[in-house]
Structure 1
Amino acid sequence: MYEELRQEIERRLQSLVDDKAGNEEEKWLRKKELLDSRNSKVIKAKAFGRVLSQEGEWTRYLVHFKYLIKQDSFIYLEEEVEERAARIENEQLVEDRETKRQPIFLAAETEVAELPEMFEERRAFHYDRLQAVQYAERWWNSYNPAYRQFAVDCTNFISQCLHAGGAPMAGYPDRSRGWWTRSNNWSYSWTVAHAFRWFLSSSKTGLRTQEVGEPELLQPGDVICYDFQGDGRFDHSTIVTAKDRYGMPLVNAHTTNSRMRYWSYEDSTAYTDDIKYKFFQIKDHSS
């Protein structure tokens, strides 16, 4: 069953390498257009996958894409892990689509290991961008067992990255106040993209930010929030981990686990022409 999926994935990847992505798959066409707009090209692509389950006529599978991208003299590796579902009839792939990833709780569902130093409320701190980026690189495609994992895990992951950089938690135990996680409880701002976006805009002590108007003003360790539908409700969060040849952000994220992905998400199935972004510089010092 997986052989048909493997062959189809290899065909799509080769179309990117050969610079001739077809329009039979909108996602791949958008990725090709995004690469072209950035004066970039996939020079090598690989995919690794495994079947997760068979549910009637549908096969759920996990696929890990790796793209070696060349942009002028700059070369970097972009990675993305998707959970997908495919329907195969008479050894022919009839339908293939991205699905929501299911959470795997690495800690007990009733209790998450508590590290005492994690939950000390502080106002003064120094934000260590390198530590935040190193955390994002270490855990972009896995899950720190000190925290709960969520089906929509993007903001939980970015919160962990910021805390790894030294950003202090505050507000416990009021879930509607501050930014924190503790044992089996957490603030809305720690896990919900929309609440996180508003916390970043409004926090006056501890973790504080400055909103800027252009993505190129961001540095590694800064944050981007996404309103895919442009309806005022923010859906996604990423952390900047590098800059491309032209100084534009490359980001890491969870949910669709991604590494060194171009910031605009134009190659995402969630992307719409109405998308809106918020760009937040994390203030390096707070008192």
Structure 2
Amino acid sequence: MSKQQVSERRFIFLSLTPIVLLFLVFSVIPIGIGTVLMLFDYSPLSSSVPFAGLKHIRELLSDEMFYKSLRVTFTFVAVAIPANIAFTLLIAIGINKIRGRFWKNSFRTMFFLPAIAPLAGSAVIWTTMFNADSGVVNMALGMLGLPSVDWLTDPSTALLSIIIMTLWADVGYNIVLFMAGLDSIPESLYEAAELDGASPWHVFWSITLPMLSRTMLFVFIMTSISYFQMFPQFQIMTKGGPLYETYVLALNIYDQAFTYMNMSYASAMAFVMLIIILVLTLIQMRIGRSQWEH
């Protein structure tokens, strides 16, 4: 082995070691502890920790609130993820068509700014904006001659309100990713399509979308993982109400762990969430595998 190869391997080792250590400390070890914890009856209020086996998994299967939170989570994910991807892709394509570098960077920065703000702080601001009596959203509706809406207290609009807030706060990341993917598409493909007289819609379906398959798969997986774990806006804006219509699984886990001090039962719920995310990620990677080469 040459000195250059040794030097390169040493550099890779030194570069990856902090990342691996952080991943172990904040991901692998907590997952392992939580998996073991669900097999016991652990509570901070009790000094004994008896072995429970699969007791908590069996309790989950008969827990109506667990199924309710699971349904709300899947509803949120099923609506928010497609809306996020469609919205961010449309904006990214629009920004990418701007020729001036200054204006392109300005618009990209403008859309990314909300992603910098803490999610909890954004949730507080949007709670005020959605206030039924003095919120700016209802004030704007009143100026248009439309009736006010009980955004956060009506079961039919509460989840929609949180989805709107989440999209506003989260679109910046995916816009940047899609723009990076668009920049990697060879300009010669678009020039050839223009010479052939292809319509913009045909260019999008035949060139842009297929060439973005790698980026699309990455965005879809990362957004799915993030949205399944969404918690701050649900806790701050509605606390799971009204009538538990915004009671997502992450909020249910939080209540079981820190409100009812039932740590083992919360660990069982977290384990189920981990399995769901893992299975859906593997399915997405399997579906997208055939689109990785062009």
Q: Common fold, TM-score beyond 0.5? A: no
* Structure of greater relative contact order (alpha carbons < 8 Å, 6+ residues apart): 2
Calculate the TM-score normalised by the size of structure 2: 0.24
Relative to its length, the structure with more helix (as a share) is 2
Calculate the TM-score normalised by the size of structure 1: 0.25
Relative to its length, the structure with more strand (as a share) is 1
